[in-house]
Chain A
Amino acid sequence: MRYLPHTDDEIHEMLAVVGRKSLDELFCSVPDACRYEGTMGLPAPMDEWQLTDHVGRLAEAMQVNHTYNVLIGAGSYHHNIPETIRTVMSRSEFLTAYTPYQPEMAQGTLQGIYEYQTLTTRLLGMDVANASIYDGASALAEGLLMGLRVAKKKARVVVSSAVHPHYREVARAYLEPTCYEMVELPVGPDGRTDLSGLAAIGDVAAVAIQSPNFFGVVEDLEALGKEIHAAGALFITSFTEPLAYGLLKNPGTCGADIVCGEGQSFGLPRSFGGPGLGMFACRDEFVRNMPGRLVGQTKDLDGKRGFVLTLSTREQHIRREKATSNICSNQGICTLIAAMYMSSLGGSGLAELARLNYSKAEYFKAQLRAKGAKIVFESPTFNEFVVEFKEDFQPAYERLLKMKIVAGLELGKYYPEHKGRYLFCVTETAAKEIIDAVAGEVKP
């Protein structure tokens, strides 16, 4: 086996040194009753070429593959990824390094994360960002737990039902064994969160709003933030599409206390939903309650700038059960990819790309409206929106699938009240002809 370098002679030499007669004898401390009986029932090993063929067959089994135009976002977006990212970020000095516990030989990773943290604070308009956590969903769950820690002695968190349904499921799973309760707020006819019920809930530590929300609708974060703060709660914002902040006011500008979302749009392929990038930021005063790793700037013995993991007294390996979270990793290479993407676009590129996404979606809306379809929510949207068709859209969906277009996500499974309505997404990757083809299949 090419990954196992030992020759038989070397094995015998080494066994002689350790005083064992066989490899089996190395395991003399394992009781018989614990042992694996027989050989593990796994498929026979494949060589590189057999494996390539096998994976090729699995790829063929994907009816919807990379040659399709998938007009679905819903937390996983198709954006162009420059070749520079694949080439440079597959460098094994980045890829095959561990957590930077020995900073002198990990300055590449550490400076890279520090830059990611900085660009993230600028993007979100916040004071401090951590080195990332698993994904947007766990970021929301951690954000809510952090809100409860900051608020102290309050028992409830409130989440808009326009937050991604999966994110709410994850938050519920995290909160289930705790003594805390999660309450959901309804969505108004304009597709925006309806806060009118907030006052009646009481004992609320924090309120979480996603913008753009699951329906693609841009929430009026500034107004919501004022109301939430007036109610004495912390204002948490979530997001699934960070590109939107190239155009929208960012959460910090709107008064957010904690911001948590998904960064997959920034240079990561959809990859069936993972790995993503849990972006997490907060205001300065809450930093010691923040979960996750942080990289800080410092100096070496010669006074030269360098970077280290810091404020680890919040973390599990020092604080044990009193830690701010059990998380003891970050998304490593994904943070570097996102920072490389952000710096490749630059400020002006981010704005231009965001405007292009917005304009494509507006063009798509106009084409659909012209065919008599209804855009369900009239509020501004970013690159996603909900459509109601006059007739059952399923036959058109099937026809479009044959044209290698996946025309939106039917919402009934996630929101029974929106059964038969479709959530569409268009990014810079959807050509006008594709949009026209979808509109062309809609029966007026």
Chain B
Amino acid sequence: MSTTNVPGVNGIVQNEPLLWEKGKKGRRGMCVPASDVPEVAFPAELQGKGIDFPDLSEVDVVRHYTRLSQWNYGVDTGMYPLGSCTMKYNPKINEKVATTPALAAAHPMLADALMQGNLQIMCELQEYLATITGLPGVSVQPAAGAHGELVGMLIFAAYHKSRNSKRTKILIPDTAHGTNPASAALCGYKPVPIKSGHNGILTVESIAAVMDEETAGIMITNPNTLGLFETNIREIAEIVHAKGGLVYGDGANLNAVMGIINARKCGIDVMHLNLHKTFSTPHGGGGPGAGPVCVTEELTQYLPAPRAEKVGDKYQLDYGGPESVGRVHAFHGNFAVLLRAYSYIRTMGADNLKKASQLAVLNAAYIKEKLKGTLPLAYNRPCMHECVFSDALLQEDKISTLDVAKRLIDCGYHPPTIYFPLVVHGAIMIEPTETECKDDIDQFIEVMKMIVREAKENPELLRQAPQRAKVRRLDETMAARHPCLCG
């Protein structure tokens, strides 16, 4: 029997049309206040014909989005071991803090004296991030990790320009984050790919062979996207510095090393952090995030402006000097995201942040150990916060990594990151984070083992998965060949 005209799909999950397929002309979903001033006619020659939005009642709208929400899976639903994404639990108190009326209603262009509370939060958050990384200069303006990378590259460009040093290339290892080459290219740098060594980490020799005085520096992700610590980072930084280059540390994987490493001592000059990963702010189905940038004392003058500072017992905005790369956001970055991260750091304190990193690594190491007999490990080295398996065994059964991922959906899990990093064939990259307890991790391990057994015993179960989600596998090729981007 077709279920097309029946509202229930799977128990309580409801079908729901597109917004403009429902409603009736003349309905209204929110109040427009009655006017207390005379109506004035707008000049006809500039006036439009009106916008074709659907008219919906409040109930229409609320049900619409509630039903949509039920087709989604979030960290609050269950385990989300998406490698490189640090899908840790998002504390609820942070949401309350972010919506504090006096802070959330603030206009961003008032005089410093009128907005001391928000400036204090910005200033203190800058200090905390400086303490955590060991890099004293911080700008909280970048709105996302990739935005932070762009700021890092703008700083590289400004630094080299100030020294009249023309540099055209940048070194990017094959285990760096995927955004790095595009961020560097925006600043006119040509990425030079560097192969990681046989054990998954960079060798000193591979950098020494290519680093020259036409190269602006290196963008290095540490721990890298294989979940391995780049043990040679100090020696690599020395080589880059000796040729006048700078070292960019992609801090997307900071969740492995809070209170464990000092970025400055690793030789890193510029580093962005992802507050939506390490500092627990919710991902919102793709954003908004925040990507503050931390730099050494010597590079502080190049940071975006304005930044908050404390003078005496007052807070103010410092608009920087001519060396600053300028402004990268209309105002002060994603302040509501900064507030959540501030709240998280104040709740955790130094010891708990370090403990979070330790437990994130323990959880990943435990999964690696328990699953290494089931799936082939990409590299059998001590892992940090994530572990990476290959599809070598699955291939024997003509099962793809994608099939395993889709089967996990039927089992009630968000799949790990798949097919990344590119250096591992059919990669399955698992990052449990510290907020998953041992019971839930044991259960996940059992389910992974079950799926690998099913790959041999009942492969159709994997190939046909998911069968219990809102939709079955979607035709992505059709979506790209015949784009239908609006209705």
Of the listed residues A98, A325, A336, A342, the one surrounded by the most CB atoms of chain B closer than 10 A to its CB is: A98
CB distance from A120 to the nearest CB of B (A): 8
Alpha-carbon separation in the docked complex, A287 to B436 (Å): 41
Say yes or no: is A18 at the interface (Cβ < 8 Å to chain B): yes
Q: Which residue of B lies closest to A364 (CB)?
A: B37
Q: Mark A73-98, 1 if CB is under 8 A from B, else 0.
A: 01110101010101111111111111
Which chain B residues numbered 22 to 39 have a C-beta less than 8 Å away from chain A?
A: 23, 26-33, 35-39
Say yes or no: is B271 at the interface (Cβ < 8 Å to chain A): no
Interface of B is mostly: loop
Q: Which residue of A lies closest to B35 (CB)?
A: A356
Alpha-carbon separation in the docked complex, A174 to B115 (Å): 29
Say yes or no: is A119 at the interface (Cβ < 8 Å to chain B): yes
Say yes or no: is B233 at the interface (Cβ < 8 Å to chain A): yes
B101 touches A129 (CB 8 A): no
Q: Which residue of A lies closest to B356 (CB)?
A: A4
Alpha-carbon separation in the docked complex, A34 to B487 (Å): 54
- Which chain A residues border B80 with CB–CB below 8 Å? 98
Which chain B residues numbered 355 to 404 have a C-beta less than 8 Å away from chain A?
A: 355-356, 358-359, 361-363, 365-366, 368-370, 381-382
CB distance from A22 to the nearest CB of B (A): 9
Say yes or no: is B426 at the interface (Cβ < 8 Å to chain A): no
| A34-B262, A34-B266 given; A329·B330 CB < 8 A | no
Partner of B108, one of A15, A273, A297: A273
Say yes or no: is A187 at the interface (Cβ < 8 Å to chain B): no
Q: Which residue of B lies closest to A89 (CB)?
A: B65
Q: Which residue of B lies closest to A302 (CB)?
A: B472
Alpha-carbon separation in the docked complex, A385 to B106 (Å): 21
CB distance from A407 to the nearest CB of B (A): 12
B53 touches A346 (CB 8 A): yes
Say yes or no: is A45 at the interface (Cβ < 8 Å to chain B): yes
B474 touches A298 (CB 8 A): yes
Partner of B47, one of A43, A74, A88, A249: A249
- Which chain B residues border A437 with CB–CB below 8 Å? none
A58 touches B121 (CB 8 A): yes
- Which chain A residues border B405 with CB–CB below 8 Å? 102
Say yes or no: is A196 at the interface (Cβ < 8 Å to chain B): no
Say yes or no: is B321 at the interface (Cβ < 8 Å to chain A): no
Say yes or no: is B12 at the interface (Cβ < 8 Å to chain A): no
Pairs across A and B, CB under 8 Å, 16 listed: A3-B356, A34-B265, A40-B353, A62-B102, A62-B114, A62-B118, A72-B110, A105-B470, A247-B48, A295-B485, A323-B181, A333-B287, A334-B287, A343-B53, A346-B53, A349-B55
- Which stretch in B183-191, B239-247, B450-458 binds the other chain? B183-191
A23 touches B362 (CB 8 A): yes
- Which chain B residues border A302 with CB–CB below 8 Å? 472
B46 touches A76 (CB 8 A): no
A42 touches B353 (CB 8 A): yes
Partner of A296, one of B157, B183, B479: B479
- Which stretch in A47-55, A152-160, A369-377 binds the other chain? A47-55
Say yes or no: is A432 at the interface (Cβ < 8 Å to chain B): yes
- Which chain A residues border B265 with CB–CB below 8 Å? 33-36
B475 touches A298 (CB 8 A): yes
A275 touches B334 (CB 8 A): yes
B55 touches A178 (CB 8 A): no
Alpha-carbon separation in the docked complex, A297 to B280 (Å): 32
B350 touches A352 (CB 8 A): no
B474 touches A103 (CB 8 A): yes
Partner of B329, one of A55, A134, A293: A134
Given contacts A62-B103, A134-B288, A296-B483, 8 further A-B contacts (CB under 8 A): A105-B470, A108-B68, A122-B52, A177-B161, A270-B107, A299-B478, A344-B28, A358-B40
Q: Mark B306-340, 1 if CB is under 8 A from A, else 0.
A: 00000000000000000001111111111111000
- Which chain B residues border A431 with CB–CB below 8 Å? 36
B38 touches A326 (CB 8 A): no
| A109-B285, A332-B285 given; A98·B42 CB < 8 A | no
Which chain A residues numbered 103 to 121 have a C-beta less than 8 Å away from chain B?
A: 103-109, 111-115, 117-119, 121
B325 touches A176 (CB 8 A): yes
- Which chain B residues border A34 with CB–CB below 8 Å? 233-234, 261-262, 265-266
- Which chain A residues border B178 with CB–CB below 8 Å? 316-317, 320, 328
- Which chain B residues border A37 with CB–CB below 8 Å? 262
B349 touches A55 (CB 8 A): no
- Which stretch in A165-173, A200-208, A225-233 binds the other chain? A165-173
Alpha-carbon separation in the docked complex, A131 to B154 (Å): 25
A321 touches B185 (CB 8 A): yes
Partner of B71, one of A3, A11, A108, A173: A108
B332 touches A272 (CB 8 A): yes
Say yes or no: is A428 at the interface (Cβ < 8 Å to chain B): yes
Of the listed residues B16, B334, B354, B381, the one surrounded by the most CB atoms of chain A closer than 10 A to its CB is: B334
Say yes or no: is A416 at the interface (Cβ < 8 Å to chain B): no
- Which stretch in B85-93, B206-214, B292-300 binds the other chain? B85-93
- Which chain B residues border A61 with CB–CB below 8 Å? 116-117, 120
A42 touches B345 (CB 8 A): yes
CB distance from B207 to the nearest CB of A (A): 16
Which chain A residues numbered 405 to 443 have a C-beta less than 8 Å away from chain B?
A: 406, 409, 428, 431-432, 435
CB distance from A324 to the nearest CB of B (A): 9
Q: Which residue of A lies closest to B349 (CB)?
A: A45
Alpha-carbon separation in the docked complex, A56 to B350 (Å): 23
Q: Which residue of B lies closest to A145 (CB)?
A: B186
B42 touches A247 (CB 8 A): yes
Q: Mark A292-336, 1 if CB is under 8 A from B, else 0.
A: 011111111110101110111100110111110111111111101
Q: Which residue of B lies closest to A20 (CB)?
A: B365
CB distance from A357 to the nearest CB of B (A): 10
Q: Mark B112-153, 1 if CB is under 8 A from A, else 0.
A: 011111101100000010011010000000011111011001
Say yes or no: is B77 at the interface (Cβ < 8 Å to chain A): yes
A272 touches B485 (CB 8 A): no
Say yes or no: is A285 at the interface (Cβ < 8 Å to chain B): no
B48 touches A249 (CB 8 A): yes
